[in-house]
Structure 1
Amino acid sequence: MLKRYDAQKENIISAGIDIGTSTTKLVISRFSLMNMAGGTHMPRIEIIEKEVLYRSPIYRTPLLTASSIDIQAVERLVREEYITAGIEPADIKTGAVIITGETATKHNAEEMVHSLSDHAGDFLVATAGPDLEGIIAAKGSGAYELSKRTGKTVANIDIGGGTANAAVYRSGRLCGTCTLHIGGRLIEFSDGKIISISPPVQQILRLWGADLERGDSRNHPIIGKLTDYMAEVIGRMLRKDLHREDLPLLLGHDPNWTEEIDYIMFSGGISECLYHFENAESSPAQYDDIGKMLAQSLRNCRELAAFKWVEPDETVRATVLGAGTQTTEISGATIHAEGHELPIRNLPVYQIRFDNNLEKGLHQITEAVKKAVEIYDPQQEGQNFALYLTALPYLGFRDIQELSSVLLKSLQAKPMPEQPLVVVLESDHAKVLGQTIKVQETKQSIVCIDQIKVEHGDYIDIGHLLQTNVVPVVTKTLTFHR
């Protein structure tokens, strides 16, 4: 944790590690942090400069079996990359280990991230589910920033080895997400022959009454038909017009945005096949799968040609760059925080916008808690999260009481309702809201902080209470905006 009252300027080193379905990569960065407040004012630490120091080659993700990650091989790879970059694990003050795509479903995925974070520095540890992965990739690709800059609705489609994760943003606000079983490794080859066909693809082939088996030639004509079909399904997904026969390729919920999409952007390994940003030397991993054919199908697809395409800032590295940084803020001085609950680390943030309408906001709360559980705790293991209440109207005493009551009721939607209720506010209501919740339910543990700006997909650390009755809040979010 950054010391608040020492040096006016400090450099910290950050690492991002992304272990995906097909590839594993690492990025080392340096951030310059400075106290931008005057000597008599409350500290306000900001990142004033950022620099990527080192990008690793892109490696094939080491697996022991189809359902198991080779933890030792991944740790060895990271150790060797640290040596190449000239850094020690002790140098790393922040960053992220993210397991994405099909790799997140491996039986030892959680063991992998905990083991790696123990050896590789002080990390945020997250096994990204498909929605979260799409959100992180949209920040790394530049789609989020483009939507903010232009006010347009931008869909980022991050396609890797196993999944296509779409996240839609308008004016910097997350509109919705959708994930499809579409990716390069759904059919794999060796020596010109098919060696694996994923279950969703097998289901589509059965629906078509088509014959494709292990041992068949990689030039079998049905494969081109399949990748063309996958591209069309992405087009229909973007229009929220999936057909019944497309459903075997849907992973989780339907597209859930209401806006019409203006721009589309592709990131992930398949977009590297489209744009070729990487040098050949930086990618020792060789792919023997349908990735290149899928990229060609995307390029030729009439469904997708109707959208305006925008080139991404990053292709295969979008997720690792989207995940690996931190900024530090100080909460407002009027907060409610129970000291025995602090510090709290690695809380994902779920945003609820009130749009200056109390009734509208109150109606959203319980459903928002359910959605937050779906995104951040899909296995119902009790991963806590923070609710970020933004664009609140003027609140009188009765309004605060009603808001407190609805927040308390919404906790029943969590697998572990007894966890601390963590509320983050933009506006200066934290102390009165926290105290009111405590009066209504004395046993409920509460951390309520304000004057903080965060977003969907951010993770926060909340530090110990300082003497000035504020808390340091570390927001882990995207740094590499253009």
Structure 2
Amino acid sequence: MTHSHHSAEHAHGGLGHDEHDDAGNVATERLQLRTVGIDVGTTTSHLIFSELPLERQGIRLSSAYTVTERRVVSRSEVTLTPYSSPRRIDTDALAAFIDRAYAQAGWTRDMVDTGAVIATGEAARKENAAAIVALFSEQSGRFVCATAGHHLEALLAAHGSGAVALSRSKETPLVLNVDIGGGTTKLAVCRSGKVIETAALDVGARVVSWDTDGNVRAVTPAGERVLRWAGARIAVGEIANRAALAITAEHVADLALAVAEGQALADEFWLTEPLRTRGRFKTLVISGGVGEYVNGNETREFGDLGKLLGAAIARRVAGHTVLRAVESIRATCIGASQYAIQVSGDTLFLTRPEMLPLRDLAAVAIHPDRADAKSIAQAVRSGIERLDRDDGKFAVAVRWDHGPAYAALRELCAGIRDGVRDVIAADRPLVVVLDADVAGIVGQVLQDEMKVRSPLVCVDQIQLSDLDFIDLGAVLPEKGVVPVVVKSLVFSER
């Protein structure tokens, strides 16, 4: 790692490396990382600066570090995302805002070990995302840059709000996270500590917006549909009628909470496939900008339906258990942890060494409950969709409980092949990361029996989860090992 702050450098006591006790046993190894989480959305942007102590037991080069604490050091103000034209983000103004946030935190860029830049909504559009990522090109190895489509944004919101952590409780094993922003509403079904399904609706606080004089500036296409449905009239350029705005907010609230109430919604309001989980959700977390009003953190108006919508949502959720979001408008990550390991030949299968290095591969995490090719393929496809990773920049990360028996591994390989047919057809690298000691067999079966001809790498004894990213370095010739860096998005509660 370029700038790892070992605990020996800080007032946290203990040696930085491989500390031994009197009996010669290996004690804990500690690291401390300074990390920054940067969220650039359609409407607002903000930064969070944190310190993350990490530790690992033992000195095996392949053992993982875990985050032991999350200390938020500084939070920037939440700013309106700057635009130079209606759909192009003003990266100069954004860079100036980021510089001010660093100065306010008392940090310089070279103090930062790791970071995560999350671009959502308009910011995730190709030309905007490329310009935002370019702001961090000097730190590219240390920063995870994720452009989030609807599914990944819903997943991030559910982790950031604490809904995923809350669903680990026996009292509330099923939680619906409703993240209501300016342009969209993101839904995530959380069960027993996992996000099992995500979707998005085309409604939010800015379906109607107006200037400081009350003149209507914009009505989105979704806003037009809501107005028709509500029988209300609001026209651009005219003074907004408060009664019409109020009735519009009531209808947007009905739409945003229809799923929570177990009601079906017209196809025209879905931005994704509708949620498959049916029925009324007893437990909700409301996050996003509108969540700030529902949770009592905000009372100001921003020239949109936010305040009216917050009040309408609060009235409607009276019959549900509403758990407070840990972070509402900041329902995003607070940064990234990372640790480096070395993977040796006996835990590695590699067909074309020249395919390395590969960076920022998102972990498509699967944990098959049975060795069945069809369900494994479906899990892989769902994982790729959940992370919006149709660009092929992912690693299939397998937690495998079904042993080294050939018949079971053959089912696994068939499932992986069928789940990633697009990657294979495009001759993109196929990366498989396994927690069990089976990389050699899996690689062999994929190549020889499943006829995978695209570049292939299988690595084992590494366990990855959703929202982890992995870098695979070039093979170090003198040692025959591959350096691996695992980066994980970190949330207040993750």
TM range (shorter): 0.7 to 0.9
C-alpha separation between the residues in 1 aligned to 2:348 and 2:92? 44
Equivalent-residue separation in structure 1 for 2:98 and 2:88 (angstroms)? 18
1:147 aligns with 167
2: CA distance, partners of 1:268 / 1:389 = 32
Higher helix share: 1
- 1:431 equivalent to 2:440? Answer yes
- Which residue number corresponds to residue 236 of structure 1? 258
**Aligned match of 1:165:** 186
Distance in 2 (alpha carbons) for counterparts of 1:101 and 1:315: 17
Moved more, 154-163 or 389-398: 389-398
In structure 1, the residue matched to 2:487 is: 475
Question: Which residue does 1:196 correspond to in 2?
Answer: 218
User: What pairs with 1:195-274 in structure 2 (closer than 5 Å)?
Assistant: 195-207=217-229, 210-244=232-266, 247-257=267-277, 261-274=281-294
Give a deviation string over 1:275-322, Cα, whole Å, max 9, x none: 2447x9xxxx97211111110110112xx333211011111111143x
Equivalent residues of 1:238, 1:261 under 8 A apart? yes
Q: Per-residue CA shift, 1:104-130, capped at 9, x if unaligned?
A: 34x622222322222566311111111
Change (3 A) 1:353 1:36: closer
TM-score norm. by structure 2 comes to 0.84
- Decide whether aligned partners of structure 1 residues 315 and 400 sit closer, same or farther in structure 2, where only a CA change above 3 A counts: same
Alignment match of 1:295 (pick from 304, 310, 326): 310
Note if contact 1:101-1:161 (Cα within 8 Å) is conserved in structure 2.
Answer: no
| Runs (5+) with no aligned partner, structure 2 | 7-15, 18-28
Shift of 1:232: 1.6
Deviations 1:86-108 (A, max 9, x none): 22222222111111134334x62
- Report the 3-state secondary structure (helix = DSSP H, G, I; strand = E; otherwise coil) of the residue aligned with 1:162: coil
In the TM superposition, 1:275-424 aligns within 5 A as: 275-277=295-297, 287-301=302-316, 304-321=317-334, 324-328=335-339, 330=341, 334-338=346-350, 339-355=353-369, 357-359=370-372, 362-377=373-388, 382-390=391-399, 392-414=401-423, 417-424=426-433
Give the aligned residue type for 2:328. T
Matches of 1:177 and 1:410, distance apart in 2: 19
Q: Distance in 1 between matches of 2:134 and 2:186?
A: 26
CA distance in 1, matches of 2:343, 2:248: 55
The answer on 1:20 being equivalent to 2:33 is: no
Aligned residues of 2:333 and 2:490 also touching (Cα < 8 A): no
Map Cα deviations across residues 216-270 of structure 1 (whole Å, 9 max, x no partner): 33334222222111222222223553233xx332111101336863411011111
TM-score normalised by the chain length of structure 1: 0.86
**SS of the counterpart of 1:444?**
coil
Query: Aligned equivalents of 1:409 and 1:243: distance in 2?
Result: 32
- Corresponding residue for residue 76 of structure 1: 96
Query: Which has the larger displacement, 159-168 or 401-410?
Result: 401-410
Q: Does the CA-based 8 Å contact 2:122-2:128 persist in structure 1?
A: no
- Quick one: structure 1 residues 55 and 286, their matched pair in 2 at CA, closer, same or farther if it must change by over 3 Å? farther
Q: Which SS does the other structure have where 1:99 is aligned? A: strand
**Residue identity in the other structure for 1:315:** S
Alignment partner for residue 72 of structure 2, among 32, 39, 52? Answer: 52
Aligned residue number for residue 108 of structure 1: 127
Is the Cα contact below 8 Å between 1:175 and 1:259 reproduced in 2? no
CA distance in 2, matches of 1:309, 1:41: 44
Q: Is the 8 A contact 2:381 2:420 kept in 1?
A: no
> Could you tell me how far 1:329 is from its partner in structure 2?
6.7
- Aligned partner of 1:129 in structure 2 is 149
Q: Counterpart in 1 of 2:460?
A: 450
**Mean alpha-carbon deviation: is it higher for 117-126 or for 162-171?**
117-126
- Tell me if structure 1 keeps the 8 A contact 2:468–2:486: no
- Cα deviation digits, residues 5-34 of structure 1 (max 9, x gap): 984433221111101122110011122233
Asked whether the equivalents of residues 158 and 268 of structure 1 are also in contact (C-alpha less than 8 Å), the reply is yes
Higher mean C-alpha displacement, 326-335 vs 74-83: 326-335
CA contact (8 A) 2:424 2:453 kept: no
SS at match of 1:211: coil
Secondary structure, aligned partner of 2:310: helix
Q: Return the offset for 1:73.
A: 0.6
- Give the letter aligned to residue 424 of structure 1: V
In the alignment of these two chains, the number of paired residues is 464
Alpha carbons of structure 1 residues 286 and 117: separation in structure 2 relative to 1, 3 Å: farther
Instruction: Identify which range, 57-66 or 222-231, moves more after superposition.
Output: 222-231
Change (3 A) 1:204 1:276: closer
Measure, in 1, the Cα distance between the counterparts of 2:91 and 2:61: 47
Alignment-mate amino acid for residue 109 of structure 1: N
What is the alpha-carbon distance in structure 2 between the residues aligned to residue 209 and residue 265 of structure 1? 30
| One-letter amino acid of the counterpart of residue 328, structure 1 | Y
CA apart distance, 1:56? 0.4
Q: Which moved more, 1:369-378 or 1:92-101?
A: 369-378
Question: Using the alignment, how far apart are the partners of 2:480 and 2:489 within structure 1?
Answer: 26
Give the SS at the match of 1:148: coil
Question: CA contact under 8 A between 1:10 and 1:34: conserved in structure 2?
Answer: yes
Does the CA contact (< 8 Å) of 1:400 and 1:433 recur in 2? yes
Give, as a single letter, the amino acid of the residue that structure 2 aligns with 1:185.
R
RMSD of equivalent CA atoms: 3.0
How many Å separate the matches in 2 of 1:429 and 1:469? 17
Q: Give 2:207's aligned residue.
A: 186
1:345 alignment partner AA: R
Alpha carbons of structure 1 residues 198 and 3: separation in structure 2 relative to 1, 3 Å: closer
Higher RCO (C-alpha 8 Å, min separation 6)? 1
CA 1:125–1:184 in structure 2 vs 1: closer, same or farther (change >3 Å)? same
